[in-house]
Structure 1
Amino acid sequence: MPGGGFSTLPNGRVVVALSLPNTIGDGHPARFLVHAANRSRALTRLRNLGLRAVYLRGNAEPPTPDEITAVLHHPDGLLWRRQPQRGAELWHPIRALLSEPSRPY
């Protein structure tokens, strides 16, 4: 079941977290983090990358403080990783996901 949420930062910008099912070729869901000016722009960034059917309904799974820190310290402001994490899996930049043509998105 897809889920997600957002956190508003003190400067007015937001961090949106989305959990999407079966986005990775191995069938495990993935968690996406997006840093943007507002929720609409965050979802637009994902849609522009090919994730057309992403919506944020409610705030059931907001980003954790660790997730917020990870996305704020990344120059692209857009990260992903599998859920549940495999061992000590780190966050991946979105370009790592898009550069593998064998995976359906």
Structure 2
Amino acid sequence: MAAGGFCKLPNGTVVVALNLPYGPARVRVLVHAANRARALTRLRNLGLRAVYLRGNAEPPTPDEITAVLHHPDGLVWRTAPTADGVPATELWHPIRALLRRPAAVG
């Protein structure tokens, strides 16, 4: 289960944003797809089986939408903002970098 949200674009597609646990930290994953179900299926097909979107508590920001729309795969991630709201300063990474990166055991 993950906190997140979605935004429907004028062309009918959606951008889904999810905060997922990854080792001791959390990552923010963005997916561009035809609909919410397809976005979650894309993540499940990559091995993230227990991914669900409940509600729309944390929809993607305009900057996040721009980042995922300009990426050729339409699937990016970076470290999630901290609990006190400090945003991540790193750049967006392709999902392949997350899947091959070993999670730190804490």
* TM bucket, shorter chain: 0.7 to 0.9
Distance in 1 (alpha carbons) for counterparts of 2:11 and 2:71: 17
What is the RMSD computed on CA atoms of the aligned residues? 1.6
Instruction: Give the Cα–Cα distance (whole angstroms) in 2 for the partners of residues 68 and 28 of structure 1.
Output: 23
Counterpart residue number, 1:52:
49
Provide runs of 4+ in structure 1 moved above 3 Å.
Answer: none
Q: Deviations over 1:36-60 (max 9, x none)?
A: 0000000000001111000011001
* Counterpart position of 1:31: 28
Which of 38, 42, 59 lines up with 2:39 in the alignment? 42
Give the secondary structure class of the aligned counterpart of 2:25: coil
* Aligned twin of 1:103: 103
Give the letter aligned to residue 39 of structure 2. A
Take 1:68 and 1:32, find their aligned partners in 2: how far apart are those partners? 11
The whole-number CA distance in structure 2 between the counterparts of 1:99 and 1:19 is 18
Q: Percent identity?
A: 76
Q: Offset at 1:83?
A: 1.7
Please tell me whether residue 7 in structure 1 is matched to residue 4 in structure 2. Answer: no
Alignment TM-score, normalising by the size of structure 2: 0.86
> Which sections of structure 2, spanning at least 5 residues, go unmatched?
82-86
Cα distance, 1:2 vs structure 2: 2.9
Query: What TM-score, normalized by structure 1, do the two folds share?
Result: 0.87
| SS in structure 2 of the partner of residue 7 of structure 1 | strand
Count of matched residue pairs: 99
The answer to whether the aligner puts 1:91 opposite 2:92 as a matched pair is yes
